[in-house]
Amino acid sequence: MKLFLALVAIAMSAGTGSAAHLWVNNIAVNDYNMTWSYTETFTGADSIAYRVSIDSGLGNNDSFVSAWELLNADRETRKSLKSAIDKELDVRINNGTGGVEVLDVDSTLSPDAIGKTHSMDAIVNRYNVTYRFKENILNSSSIWFLGQANSPVTIVMPPGVDVVNSSGMNNVSKNVTNHSEIAGLFKGMTMDRGEVTLYLAKNTSYKVPEINVSSNVTSPVPTENLTMNFTKSTKEITSKARNATIIIAAVVIIILIYVFKVKRK
């Protein structure tokens, strides 16, 4: 996924430059929806640059990343990611975006970022974007992804869809069981842009599983409503859990600092 994360803007405004990091993409495609999950890892000097960027760009520049500063960074990251996707949708079906809708953009910044800015401890952030398709992917001839150049990507397709060819990917490996799984690296078209296309064909031998409906059921619940309610509930739970984790971590750090100072006295 081609990203313009809040970190880039923060680092540039702070004068530190953007820290190098490891980016890993995992894409799970289903019949009518898709989830793009990815992790961002900072280690060593890069983790210091990340913390300094948050503290100087969104905090009080006191060489300490607080829970409040991390929450601000989390909000700005999600806002920046959503803005980047709105500017150029990173998924196309049959070379078009009309049948793709973004349902949710979420991020979970690591609470390990809280603390002194010059700590070299590793930081692992996680992001998720959920999409919905207007038509079943089984009837599509191609799906296209816009990602970060040279970053690893794994794409899992649903049963019933054969991947007959691919382009824009280096070090390609393919694993086929009851579904197809393609892995490799986004081939760099520019310094930060990679494009992968999977060419698809419907597996004519695949039979859609039958759903047994009880004769007592008179009015089935629309699938769309179930999807939207599930997405909304999941988003609320994830958001509350993320905020609680960050706050608890901050309280623990403050207590440890206080105890350390008391012992020194």
Answer yes or no: is 60 within a domain: yes
Answer yes or no: is 64 within a domain: yes
Give me the domain span that covers residue 22: 6-206+225-264
Answer yes or no: is 99 within a domain: yes
Residue of 156, 175, 161 lying closest to 208 (CA atoms): 161
* 161: β partners: 202
Q: Is 259 exposed, middle or buried (0-12, 13-18, 19+ CB in 10 A)?
A: exposed
Each of the 265 residues of the chain gets a pLDDT tens digit; together they read: 544 344 443 343 333 444 457 899 999 999 999 999 999 999 999 999 999 999 999 999 999 999 999 999 999 999 999 999 999 999 999 999 999 999 999 999 999 999 999 999 999 999 999 999 999 999 999 999 999 999 999 999 999 999 999 999 999 999 999 999 999 999 999 999 999 999 999 988 877 766 554 544 444 445 454 444 544 555 555 566 666 666 676 666 666 665 555 455 5
Answer yes or no: is 216 within a domain: no
Gap between the Cα atoms of 27 and 56, Å rounded: 34
| Per-residue model confidence (pLDDT) at position 205 | 83
Answer yes or no: is 169 within a domain: yes
Residue of 108, 225, 95, 237 lying closest to 167 (CA atoms): 95
Residue 135, SS3 per DSSP: coil
Answer yes or no: is 115 within a domain: yes
Gap between the Cα atoms of 13 and 215, Å rounded: 63
Answer yes or no: is 163 within a domain: yes
Q: Token pair of 261, please?
A: 């100072």
Task: Please report which helix (H) or strand (E) contains residue 9, including its range.
Answer: helix 6-14
| Per-residue model confidence (pLDDT) at position 204 | 82
**Starting at the edge strand that comes first in sequence, how are the strands of the sheet with 180-186 ordered?**
100-108, 123-133, 33-42, 22-29, 152-156, 180-186, 169-176
Q: How many domains does the chain have?
A: 1
Q: How far is CA 151 from CA 27, 125, 154, 184, in A?
A: 13, 16, 10, 8
Answer yes or no: is 41 within a domain: yes
